[in-house]
Amino acid sequence: MNINLDKQQELGKLISKYTDTDGVHPTSIESLFLIRESIISEPVARVNEISFCIIVQGEKEVLLGEERFTYGAGNFIVASVELPVTGQVIDASYDLPYLALKLEFTPTDILEVLHETGVRSGKKQDTKRALFIGESEPSLLDAVVRLASLLDKQKHIPILAPLYKKEILYWVLQSPNGDALQQMAVAGSNAMRIRDVIEYIISNFEKSFRIEDLADMANMSVSSLHRHFKEVTAMSPIQFQKQLRLQEAKRLLLVDFPDIAEVAFQVGYESQSQFTREYARMYGYSPRADMKRFKEELKSLM
C-alpha cells in the first residue's frame, strides 16, 4: 500500500470539494488557501507571500531571477520571505486540474515552533535561497490532510488548526532544506538582516535608494550585502526592485488602462523609454502592445 498516494488522493478530494471554480480560494481556516487551475496558464508575475504550498495534482513552474523551479504532485514549495516571481501552471486539464494547498505563515510562527519543539536553529552566518522545493514525506502529508479535513469539522478549527499548522512547519523544518526556513527566524543572522532589506525595498520600491544605505541598514559592507542578498533572492537589490516596479506597472496598465508615461512615473521610472525597454524585456511585449493584447482577450471573452 502506498500511504503517500492514498493521502494525496484524500487531500485531492478535499481540495476538489471546496473549489468548484478555478482560482485561489480562501477557507474558513485562517491563512489556508486551496488552489485549482484547469487550464495551462500564461506566466503570471506577482510577489509570492511567505508560505508553504503542497501540490496534489498537475505541475507548475516558477521563475525567480534567472532560476527555474518546477514542481508537481508529491512536492511542496516554500518561500521563507516575500519574493517577486513569475509562475505558470504547465500541466492541467478539466479532467485532471492542477490542485494545491497553500498555507501562509510568518517568521514569528517559525520562531514559536523552534522554541516550543526544541529544534536547534542553524548557524547564524548561513544564508540560503529563500525559495526551495521538497518531497512530501508521509508525516508532513498526514499533518496537511488533518488540517484540510477540519474544513469538514468546523467546530474543531479554533483548537486544532493552530496545532496542525505548527506541526506542518515542524516537519518542513525537519526536511533537508529546513535550515533555509530556520535562517529567517534566527536573531542577528545574515538572512534575517537581508529580510529587513527586502521588506524595505518592497515597501518603497518606487523610490530610489543608495546601495550604501541598504548596507548600513543590514549592518553589512556593500559587497557582503550583494552576496547575501543574491544568495537569498537569486537577484541583486536593483534587480529585485526592478521586478517589483514592472509587476506593479503591469497591474496598473491592465486594470486601469492609464497613460503609459504616468504609470512609468508612478512605479519610479524617470525615463519612459527605459521603462518601455525593461517592460518589453520582462514580458515580451511593449506596454502599449500588452494593453492592446489584453483588451482583445477581454473582448473575445464577452
Q: Using one digit for the tens of pLDDT, what is the confidence trace for 91-137?
A: 999 999 999 999 999 989 998 998 887 755 555 556 889 999 999 99
The reply to whether 112 and 256 lie within a common domain is no
pLDDT at residue 126 in the model: 67
The reply to whether 69 and 178 lie within a common domain is yes
Helix/strand/coil for 79? strand
CB 22 within 8 A of CB 39: yes
pLDDT at residue 1 in the model: 47
pLDDT at residue 125 in the model: 55
The reply to whether 234 and 254 lie within a common domain is no
Q: What whole-number percentage of the chain has pLDDT above 70?
A: 94
- Nearest C-alpha neighbor of 50 from the set 123, 112, 105, 122: 105
- Of 147 and 284, the structure prediction assigns the larger pLDDT to 147
Domain annotation covers residue 102 = yes
C-alpha cell at 197: 532589506
3-state secondary structure 184-227: HHCCCCHHHHHHHHHHHHHHCCCCCCCHHHHHHHHCCCHHHHHH
Q: What integer best gives the mean pLDDT of the chain?
A: 90
pLDDT of 157 over the 60 cut: yes
The reply to whether 13 and 158 lie within a common domain is yes
Range of the domain at 119: 3-183
The reply to whether 156 and 278 lie within a common domain is no
Query: Residue 270 sits in a domain of what CATH number?
Result: 1.10.10
Of 137, 153, 183, which marks where a domain is finished?
A: 183
Q: Each residue of 225-277: pLDDT tens digit?
A: 999 999 999 999 999 999 999 999 998 988 865 789 999 999 999 999 999 99
pLDDT of 300 over the 70 cut: no
Q: Each residue of 21-71: pLDDT tens digit?
A: 999 999 999 999 999 999 998 888 899 999 999 999 999 999 999 899 999
Whole-angstrom Cα distance, residue 291 to residue 297? 10
Domain annotation covers residue 243 = no
The reply to whether 21 and 78 lie within a common domain is yes
CB 208 within 8 A of CB 267: no
What 8-state DSSP symbol labels residue 235?
S
pLDDT at residue 116 in the model: 84
pLDDT at residue 121 in the model: 54
Q: What is the mean pLDDT of residues 135-153?
A: 95
Whole-angstrom Cα distance, residue 299 to residue 191? 46
